[in-house]
Structure 1
Amino acid sequence: MSTTSIPTVSVVMPVYNVEAFVANAISSVLKQTYNDFELIIINDCSPDNSIQVCERFKDPRIKIVHHTQNRGLAGARNTGIRNSQGKFIAFLDSDDLWHPNKLLRHVQHLTENPNIGLSFSRSAFIDANGKPNHCYQMPKLKNINSGYIFCRNPVGNGSAPVIRRETLNAIAFDHIHDNIIERCYFDPTLRRSEDIECFLRIALTTCWEIEGIPEPLTLYRLNAEGLSAQLYKQLESWEKVAEKTRNYAPLFSSQWEKIARAYQLRYLARQAIRLKDGSAAVKLTHQALKNHILMIVHEPTRTITTIGAAYLLKCLPFLYKRIEYHASILIGLMQKKRIQQDLS
């Protein structure tokens, strides 16, 4: 790609307090086998040396945009989109990584399927040091409707999606910030759950389809320093998404909101288990079942496993630790076999 041509893909990467990770994230973009892209880095007033690390890269495809105040992921992504040129917009959180074929596969997927507005991939989990734990996010890939998105967010994380510009333009709205009207795509009033709100709005208000591809092309970093208190802040943000959705899609919300809340609570219970907070996991599991007891029938394996893990972690944490290690190995092998089957 010449420095004057319009790239096919714009990669949007918000940067905030990721000095330890951002160089590897940028390198994973520059190592893409598909190289017709621009990388737009948004400095969201990072307090560490993250931007100094970014500035060491001299690739002409990289552009750094600076915020004068911290805007959060939604605000940074909006800034990135407004400064982008590509036909397709890819998002990468600056502590995650991409497989070298990530952009190639998504460009192929979107080019061959003009009805698809949002393409996403499966993700492989890595730890804080970038080491794979051999487990994967294994979402549903096809026939995804708005109800499914509300309940489970199959995209999974902020580094998995690649979205057509036409699709983003279809959900764009104006927002006033510091007396300036800005074109927005993600809701800048949300500090969490901004991705599910955006994806749900695509599904509810446009005709664009959302579809995944089977390869684990995103390497999603698990935060080893997470706090259980953050889970309740995430739930609070999710409730704001539910309220917003209720205002513009009341019939949809009346059918799906309580069910979706149950699945969100179950998801948070599983996060509490990962954070080794058995008490929070049990509490969140009870709330999930209270909202939708039939989740035991609809998804028995995942629901019963979550309940069992929550109580085992709370009551017998040492035994849980031993079982978790062996179970994760088995689950990882089963997931890898499923991926290989889907690719064959």
Structure 2
Amino acid sequence: MRLPVFAIDVGYGSTKYTYRDGHGTVMTGIFPSLTPLAPIMMGGPELNQRPFHMHKTVVITVDRIEYEVGPDVPITAAYGWTGSALCDDYAVTANYRALLFGAFYFTGVTHVERLVLGLPVHLMKMYSPLLKQRLLGETHFGAGCVTIDEVIVVPQPLGTLVLTANNRHNDFRHDEAHLVVDVGYFTTSWISANGLTIDDSRSGGMRSGTWDICKRIADHISRAENEIVNDIERIDKVLREKETYLFYGKDIDLVPFLELTTPIAANAAWHLQSHLGSSPSVSSIILSGGGVPLYAKAIQQAFPDMHLKSVPSPSLANVSGYLIIGEAQDAREWGFPTQDIRGTSIFS
């Protein structure tokens, strides 16, 4: 399948993608950003692909290494190694590319004219050029092949800002200051913008997210049960689904442990406040990202005079905005009138 625009958000916690099918319907998908080494089976990697109805994963080959990715990838593994890559250079790792190509495989996309990706604000300048260089052209990834004509990389929170502007239509004022905070799995990024033009001096990011809270909870459980707990991804899943954590046949309520992690979110919120300083012109703070439920209260306490707004489906907000950005570029090329979303610092 060939697409004019394909948007993918390869996050530390989950990989999200969206595109418009031949009928004009927006399609979306999500799977964990985990890349355990693929099991070695007789017959080679072509026989490693498991039937869809049994297990929705695929073996992706990057630099001759086989990784298993997909919606049903195991979130627990021997010795706690699930292939989760938590590092600043994540976007140029083999793990990142395995997840990216997994999105192509599960959608059946073999050729995309414009691929739109996002990076944390504070990592844009360093890794955006490398990311583009590595993805352009034709790539074989074991389970398939894809050709990418153009790559656009934007600051992750910009996706939420553009989506908000698109949804609010005439109610979105372009002479108004906006603050978007994207709470991810491993990083928290924010952009301050006038309309859709980013103010670089008041935008930034830090290492703080869902992982920090889940890791702290794991440490508390380890101490309480006198047993090392490493399955951070399962704790994240339990928190999102508001379930109990099963530990050797015992159901553990995570709420008391979660209450002990409040300083983590508070520290991120105060860091954000110190970076922004006084912001009397900002009427509200728009929150996005999977970590919103864990950080919203702390952010509100740090900015008591501001109204917090959470976008619908916060985990998909950024990637939905990426699609709008890519399609706006297409519309402009064909001469259709579009709202200008090209600030000087938005596109790299």
Q: What TM-score comes out, normalization by structure 1 length?
A: 0.30
Higher strand fraction: Structure 1 or Structure 2? 2
Higher RCO (C-alpha under 8 Å, 6+ residues apart) = 2
